[in-house]
Amino acid sequence: MEIYVQPSPHRCYTDGEYISQGITLKEDLSVCDTLFGIKEVPKNKLLEGKQYFFFSHTIKKQPYNREMMKEMILRRITMTDYETLRYPNEIRVLGFGRYAGIVGTYNALLSFGRRYNLFSLSPANQLQHYKPDLENELNKIKLPAIKIMLTGGGRVANGAMEILDFMKIRKVKPDEFLTQDFNEPVYTQLNPQDYYTLNGKHDFDLHYLAHHPQEFKSDFIKFTKVADVFISCHFWDNRGAKLFTKEDAKSPGFKIKVIADITCDINGSVPTTIRSCKIDHPVYGYNPQTESEDEPYKENVITVMAVDNLPCELPRDSSFDFGKDLIEKVIPLMLGEDKEKMIENATICKAGKLMPDFEYLADYIS
Q: Is the link from the previous residue into 132 a cis peptide, with omega within 30 of 0? A: yes
> pLDDT digits over 329-354, tens only?
999 999 988 999 999 999 999 999 99
- Could you give the CA distance from residue 54 to residue 68 in angstroms, rounded to a whole number? 13
Provide the whole-model pTM.
0.86
| 55 Cβ contact partners less than 8 Å away, ≥ 6 residues apart | 38, 39, 40, 81, 82, 83
> pLDDT digits over 10-47, tens only?
899 999 999 999 999 999 999 999 999 998 999 999 99
Residue 173, pLDDT above cutoff 80: yes
Residue 238, pLDDT above cutoff 90: no
Better pLDDT: 356 or 95? 356
> pLDDT digits over 201-222, tens only?
877 788 889 889 999 999 999 9
The pLDDT assigned to 19 comes to 97
Q: Which residue type, as a one-letter code, is found at position 61?
A: K
> pLDDT digits over 260-284, tens only?
999 998 889 999 999 999 999 999 9
The pLDDT assigned to 126 comes to 95
* 23 secondary structure, DSSP code: P
The pLDDT assigned to 178 comes to 98
Question: What secondary structure, in 3-state letters, does 140-187 show?
Answer: CCCCCCCEEEEECCCHHHHHHHHHHHHCCCEECCHHHHHHCCCCCCEE
The pLDDT assigned to 199 comes to 83
| Domains in the chain: ranges and CATH | 4-93+316-365 (3.40.50.720), 97-314 (3.40.50.720)
The pLDDT assigned to 336 comes to 84
Mean pLDDT value of segment 183-197: 96
Q: Which residue type, as a one-letter code, is found at position 136?
A: N
Mean pLDDT value of segment 224-251: 95
In which element (H, E) is residue 305 found? strand 302-305
